Chains A and B, each alone.
Chain A
C-alpha cells in the first residue's frame, strides 16, 4: 500500500502501467472464467431452445436429411387431436394430490414444531422418501401394488375379500390415484421440511403465550403460524402447479404411461423418441414451456414481489 503511494508520487508512469496491466488481467480472468460456463449455457440451454422452436415448424424424423417446413401444422395437430391435450387432465389428479400433500405437510410441520418425544425420528422418516432414487421408488411401489403384494396383503388382513381387490395399476379408473399416492409418499416430507424451516422463524414466545391463554393448536396454527408463513405456502402451491403440469418420472418408470396414466411430458418424449416425430414433439415442448412460463410469471409477480414478510 505504502509502496504504491510512493510510486504514485515519484513515477506516475509506473502507476499507469500497473493499472493497464490490471485492466488486461481483469479481461483475461473475466473471459477465461466465463468461457466454459457460457459455452455450456449456450450449447445446452439456448441452442436447444432455438432449435426446438425451429423444429416445431418442421416435419422431421430426427435422422434423415429431409426436413420440410410445415408452418403451423404441428401446433394445429397438438390442439386439435384429442389424444395430445387429453393427457393434461391427468395433471388435475396430481394437482389435487399436491394440495392434500401441502395440507399434510403443514400439519406435520406444525405438530413437529412443538417439542415432542421422538420428533427428530418422525421428521427423518417423513422426509427420507424425498431423497430416494426415483427408479427405486417406482420399483418399491410396483411391489406394493402388485397382485398379492403389500397392499393386497394388508387389505386382506383387514378383512377384504382377496378376489374382490382391484388391479391397482391395471385399472384405468384407479391407476392415477395409485400413482398420485406414490408422489405424495415421496414428496410430502420435502414440503414439511420447508414449512418447518419457516415455522421456526415464528416467535416461540408468542406461541407459548397463546397456549397459556388456552389457544388450542388449531387456533395457534390459524392465527399465528399460517399468517407468518403465507409466502412459503403460496410458493409451494405454485411449485405444485408446475409439478402437476410436468409430471413424468414416476408414471414413466412404473407404467410407461399405459392404462390411462400418461402425462404431457411422457407423450412429448414418446412422440420424439418413439414415433420419431421431432417436429410435433417440439411443438408440444413449446406449448408446455409456455404453460410453465405463465405459471412462473405469476410466481415472480404475485408471490416473490411480496417476499418481505418471508422473514429473510
Chain B
C-alpha cells in the first residue's frame, strides 16, 4: 500500500516536472520571439543586399537601348525582349565562348581526373624508391601560388609553341592542379587493399586493377573533383586571357570581358551577357546543391 502511494507520488512528480519543462520551453520561446523576428529581418535584409545587384542586371537585360536610357534600374521592362541576348550570343561571340569553354572544360576535367587518379593510385598503393620524394614534390607545389609565376610560365608556354592555342589553357588547368590529387589520395587511404589483392591473385594486371577496381571505387571523389574543378575552370579568367588572346579562342570569361570595349555604353547588352554567363552556374547549383556544399568545403580546406 505504502509502495503504491510512493509510486503515485513519483508519477505526479514526474508529470509536474514534465509540465514545468514544457512551460519553461514555451516561456523561453516567447521570450525569444523578438529575437526570432530580428533574425528574420537580418536574413531578409542580407538576401536583398545579395540579390539586388543581380536582379537589376536581369531586368536591364530585357530593355531596348532607348528604354534602358530612359527608365530607372528598378523599373520592369515593358516587354520580354530577347534582342540583347541574340546580340550578346552572336555579335558578342558568346556562342563561340561557350563552344571553346565546353571543349576546354571537357578536356581539362578528363585530364585532371586521369592524371589525379593515376598519381594517387601509384603513390598510395606502391612502394618504390623515390616515392616519398615524388609525393613531397606534389605537396610543395600545392603551396606555391601559380599567379606569382606567370612571367616564367608564359616563356615556357611560348617556347612549347602553345601560345594562342587551346592546349595552353588545357595543360595549365590540368597541370597545375594539385588539390584533386589530395582528394583522391585521402579517399584511397580509406579503401582497403583486399579487393586489389584478390584481383591480383586472380592474375589481373595492375592496369586492370586501376581500371576495374580503383576507378569505380573512387567515383564519389571523382564527382567531387569534377564539381570543384568544373566550377573553377568555368570561372577562370586570367589563364585564358593571357594565353589565348585571339578572338577565335575566346572562352565565356574572356568573351564577356571584351564586352566593356565595343559595348561600353550599351549596358543592356552587357547585362544580357552577364545573365548568359550566370545561367549555367545557377542551373548546376540548383541541381547539385548538396554535392556543391560538400565539395566546396572539402576543396577549400585543402588549399
How many B residues face the partner with a CB closer than 8 A? Answer: 95
Q: Counting CB contacts under 8 A, is A193 at the interface?
A: yes
Is there contact, CB below 8 Å, between A282 and B152?
yes
Q: How far is the CB of B241 from chain A (nearest CB, A)?
A: 9
Q: Do A46 and B141 touch across chains, with their CB atoms under 8 A apart? A: yes
Across the interface, do A127 and B149 meet the contact criterion of CB distance under 8 Å? no
Determine if A143 is an interface residue (Cβ-Cβ < 8 Å).
Answer: yes
Report B-chain residues with C-beta under 8 Å of the C-beta of A127. Answer: 293
Q: What is the minimal beta-carbon distance from B129 to any residue of chain A, in angstroms?
A: 10
**Known A26-B126, A33-B118, A135-B277; contact A272-B174, beta-carbon cutoff 8 A:** no
Whether the pair B53, A141 counts as a contact (CB closer than 8 A) is yes
B280 to A: closest C-beta gap in Å:
9
Q: If A34-B134, A45-B146, A122-B43 touch, does A40 touch B174 (CB 8 Å cutoff)?
A: yes
Question: In whole angstroms, what is the CA distance A193 to B293 when docked?
Answer: 7
Q: Is A64 an interface residue (CB 8 A)?
A: no
List of A residues within 8 angstroms of B57 by Cβ = 139-140, 143
The residue from A125, A133, A139, A150 contacting B270, defined by CB atoms under 8 A apart: A139
Q: Which of B143, B172, B282 has the most CB of A within 10 A?
A: B143
Q: Is A214 part of the binding interface, using a Cβ–Cβ cutoff of 8 Å?
A: yes
Assuming the A-B contacts A124-B285, A140-B54, are A194 and B300 also in contact, with contact meaning beta carbons closer than 8 angstroms in the complex? yes
Chain B residues lying within 8 Å of A273, measured Cβ to Cβ, are 150-151, 154, 242
Does B212 lie at the interface of the complex (its beta carbon under 8 Å from any beta carbon of A)?
A: no
B237 within 8 A of A: yes
Tell me the B193-228 residues at the A interface (CB within 8 Å).
Answer: 201, 205-207, 210
Contact A40 B171 (CB under 8 A): yes
A-B contact count (CB 8 A): 242
Q: Does any Cβ of B come within 8 Å of A177's Cβ?
A: no
Residue from the list B25, B151, B284 in contact with A272, Cβ < 8 A: B151
Flag if B148 contacts A289 (CB, 8 Å): yes
B56 on the A face (CB < 8 A): yes
Is B289 among interface residues, defined by CB-CB distance under 8 A? yes
A265 touches B147 (CB 8 A): yes
When the two chains form their complex, are residues B206 and A133 in contact, meaning their CB atoms are under 8 A apart? no
Complex contact A48–B156 (CB within 8 A): yes
Q: Are A135 and B257 in contact (CB under 8 A)?
A: yes
- In the assembled complex, the Cα of A190 lies from the Cα of B267 at a distance in Å of 29
- Given contacts A1-B201, A133-B253, A246-B147, whether A144 and B53 have CB atoms under 8 Å apart is yes
Residues of chain B with a CB closer than 8 A to A40's CB: 115, 171, 174-176
Given A46-B137, A124-B285: A246 and B145 interface contact (C-beta under 8 Å): yes
Contact of B60 (CB < 8 Å), options: A34, A143, A193, A278: A143
For A30, give its contact among B126, B153, B201 (CB under 8 Å).
B126
The residue of chain B having its C-beta at the shortest distance from the C-beta of A187 within the complex is: B300
Chain A residue nearest to B149 (CB atoms) is A48
Give the residue among A48, A140, A142, A197 with the most B Cβ atoms within 10 A: A48
List chain A residues, Cβ under 8 A from B175. 40-41, 43-45
Checking A25, A153, A296 against B74 with a beta-carbon cut-off of 8 angstroms, the contacting residue is A153
Q: With A49-B144, A51-B152, A193-B296 given, is the CB distance from A25 to B277 under 8 Å?
A: no
User: Contact: A217 with B35, CB < 8 Å?
Assistant: yes
Interface bits B156-170 vs A (CB < 8 Å: 1, else 0)? 100010000000000
* B151, A134: Cβ atoms closer than 8 Å: no
Chain A CB within 8 A of B50 CB: yes
Kindly state the separation between the CA atoms of A150 and B257 in the bound complex, as whole angstroms: 21
- Out of A44, A135, A217, A293, which one reaches B253, CB within 8 Å? A135
Contact B281 A133 (CB under 8 A): yes
Contact with B along A130-149 (1 / 0, CB 8 A): 11111110011111101001
Identify which of B47, B141, B148 gathers the most chain A CB atoms within 10 Å of its CB. B148
Cβ contacts under 8 Å, B287 to chain A: none
Contact B207–A29 (Cβ < 8 Å) = yes
| Residues of chain B contacted by A239 (CB below 8 angstroms) | 300, 303
Q: Give A242 to B53 CA distance when docked, in angstroms.
A: 28
Indicate the member of B154, B234, B252, B296 with the most A CB atoms within 10 Å: B296
> Is B152 in contact with A269, judged by CB distance below 8 angstroms?
no
- Once bound together, how far apart are the Cα atoms of A132 and B280, in whole Å? 10
CA distance A82 to B157 in the complex (A): 32
Query: Given A125-B50, A134-B237 in contact, is the A248-B297 Cβ separation under 8 Å?
Result: no
Chain B residues with Cβ under 8 A from A93's Cβ? none
Please provide the 3 A-B residue pairs with the shortest distance between their CB atoms, ordered closest to farther: A40-B175, A51-B152, A272-B151
Residues of A that sit less than 8 Å from B by CB: 1, 4, 25-27, 29-30, 33-34, 36-38, 40-41, 43-49, 51-52, 55, 62, 108, 111, 116, 118, 121-122, 124-136, 139-144, 146, 149-150, 153-154, 185, 190, 193-194, 197, 211-212, 214, 216-217, 232, 235, 239, 242, 246, 248-249, 252-253, 265, 268-269, 272-273, 278, 281-282, 285, 288-289, 292-293, 296
Chain B residues proximal to chain A, CB less than 8 Å? 21, 24-25, 28, 32, 35-36, 39-40, 42-43, 46-47, 49-54, 56-57, 60, 72-74, 115-116, 118-119, 121-122, 126, 128, 134, 137-138, 141, 143-156, 160, 171-172, 174-176, 181, 201, 205-207, 210, 231, 234-235, 237-238, 242, 252-254, 256-257, 259-260, 267, 270-271, 273-274, 277-278, 281-282, 284-285, 289, 292-293, 296-297, 300-301, 303
